[in-house]
């Protein structure tokens, strides 16, 4: 786990400094705030390579193994029940590790138990596994540790993850039919190019004569595909690799996340999914007692969209300048007028968390309705695509055959 050096001021206004182990700078700031220290600067400290200090049971991340959201929900539910019943956390971790079927999850739980036995805080132990527990999970658990309500923190995360799982299932269900049709069209085009057109080409050549321009184009495309298939395949591989590398850059990730929200038909749905996730996540963070500035920093990394995440980060800077939450939300230009009214009422009544929860419900209902109607919205596009493919075949292949048949019979 990285070590961070920090400078800050305590409750008496005195400047303090030190080192702290945590998964992210945001978690360091959260821990300092819980200790009554206002951070001034947080920087990652240089770490010495001390292989002897590492546990011999470092988790080996297997290539084809991962912890699913269902397993994470079950873990959170079980930890809620066990901590509420007063079972020691270390004992609970060891017990769950012996019952789960996923070896990666079992190794993770055993590693967490080992860290707890060494005196580490649970949130610090969780931070060693960023691929399993995101920053939102760490922050909620950290607040639960400091407030003595760890069981409620696990319950909150289980409820949040269940909503995430339902959203993912709805998206998969709505896109299954369109994806199947698109794959079928792609396969049909490939078969026509590789097998059908070459077969008709020999028929056309045996009869001689001038072929229509559309037929010549189809034959040219087919010949190019057969002659240079390895170049086409190589270009596709290079394009995919280059795209993935571009996504790893800050500029590429933000640009792609912005463009996704502008896609026809699905763009508005993706946008509402992100806004619903923001509202739900921020509501949970505020209910847990996380300071609003720190909460926005956590949410910015949890919405799943870097473009929206940057807007959330700008909201945080606005609040640090002394602006109201409603002002910063209006400047971000993310929310609809109805939601802005809800947030304004929440700020006036001191119940922003409740209004955010209602806003999340509003967006989630819209997403559910849109996903149910996604198939009917995409069907006309798919019909046009299939019709265009049939038209190309009719004009480029079958029409010349009919003309040749007419000439021969005539």
User: Is residue 78 one of the residues assigned to a domain?
Assistant: yes
For the entire predicted model, the pTM comes to: 0.69
Same structural domain, 35 and 111: no
Domain that holds residue 84: 67-161
pLDDT of residue 54: 42
Residues in the chain with pLDDT < 50? 47-63
Same domain, 30 and 107: no
Do 87 and 154 fall within a single domain? Answer: yes
Q: Are residues 270 and 368 in the same domain?
A: yes
Q: Is residue 327 classed exposed, middle or buried when 0-12, 13-18 and 19+ CB atoms within 10 A define those classes?
A: middle
Residue-averaged pLDDT of the chain: 81
Task: Read off the tokens for 114.
Answer: 């080992």
Instruction: Tell me the per-residue pLDDT of 148-181, one tens digit each, with 9 for 90 and over.
Output: 788 888 988 888 888 888 888 888 888 888 888 8
Specify the CATH number for the domain of residue 95: 1.20.81.30
Among 184, 167, 176, smallest CA distance to 378 is for 176
Are residue 299 and residue 359 in the same domain, yes or no? yes
pLDDT (0 to 100) of residue 101? 85
pLDDT of residue 52: 40
Write the CB contacts of 93 (distance below 8 Å, at least 6 apart in sequence): 109, 110, 112, 113, 116
Residue from 360, 311, 355 nearest 333 by CA: 311
The number of folded domains in the chain is 3
Domain contains 123: yes
Per-residue confidence (pLDDT) for residue 405, from 0 to 100: 65
Q: What percent of the chain has pLDDT over 90?
A: 7
Query: Within this chain, do residues 276 and 342 fall inside the same structural domain, yes or no?
Result: yes
């Amino acid at each position: 786990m990285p070590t961070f050096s920090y400078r800050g001021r305590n409750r008496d206004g005195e400047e303090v400094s030190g080192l702290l182990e945590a998964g992210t700078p945001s978690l360091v700031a959260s821990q300092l705030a819980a200790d009554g220290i206002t951070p001034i600067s947080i920087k990652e400290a240089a770490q010495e390579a001390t292989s002897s200090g590492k546990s011999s049971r470092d988790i080996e991340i297997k290539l084809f193994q991962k912890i699913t959201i269902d397993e994470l929900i079950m873990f959170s539910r079980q930890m809620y029940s066990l901590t509420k019943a007063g079972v020691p956390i270390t004992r609970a971790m060891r017990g769950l590790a012996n019952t789960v079927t996923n070896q990666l999850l079992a190794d993770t739980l055993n590693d967490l138990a080992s860290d707890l036995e060494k005196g580490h805080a649970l949130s610090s132990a969780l931070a060693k596994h960023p691929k399993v527990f995101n920053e939102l999970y760490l922050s909620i658990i950290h607040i639960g540790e400091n407030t003595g309500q760890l069981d409620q923190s696990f319950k909150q995360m289980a409820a949040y993850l269940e909503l995430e799982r339902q959203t993912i299932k709805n998206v998969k269900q709505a896109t299954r039919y369109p994806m199947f049709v698109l794959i079928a069209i792609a396969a049909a085009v490939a078969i026509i190019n590789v097998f059908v057109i070459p077969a008709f080409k020999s028929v056309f050549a045996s009869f001689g004569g001038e072929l229509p321009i559309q037929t010549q184009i189809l034959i040219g495309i087919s010949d190019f595909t057969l002659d240079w298939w390895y170049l086409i395949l190589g270009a596709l591989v290079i394009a995919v690799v280059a795209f993935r590398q571009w996504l790893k850059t800050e500029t590429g990730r933000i640009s792609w996340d912005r463009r996704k929200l502008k896609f026809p038909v699905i763009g508005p749905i993706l946008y509402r999914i992100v806004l619903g996730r923001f509202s739900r996540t921020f509501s949970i963070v505020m209910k847990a007692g996380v300071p609003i500035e720190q909460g926005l920093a956590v949410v910015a990394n949890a919405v799943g969209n870097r473009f929206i995440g940057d807007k959330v980060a700008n909201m945080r800077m606005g609040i640090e300048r002394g602006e109201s939450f409603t002002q910063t939300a209006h400047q971000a230009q993310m929310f609809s007028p109805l939601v802005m009214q809800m947030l304004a009422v929440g700020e006036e009544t001191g119940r922003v968390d409740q209004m955010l929860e209602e806003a999340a419900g509003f967006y989630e209902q819209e997403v559910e309705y849109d996903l149910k109607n996604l198939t009917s919205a995409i069907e006309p596009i798919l019909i046009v695509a299939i019709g265009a493919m049939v038209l190309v075949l009719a004009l480029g292949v079958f029409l010349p055959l009919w003309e040749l048949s007419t000439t021969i019979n005539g």
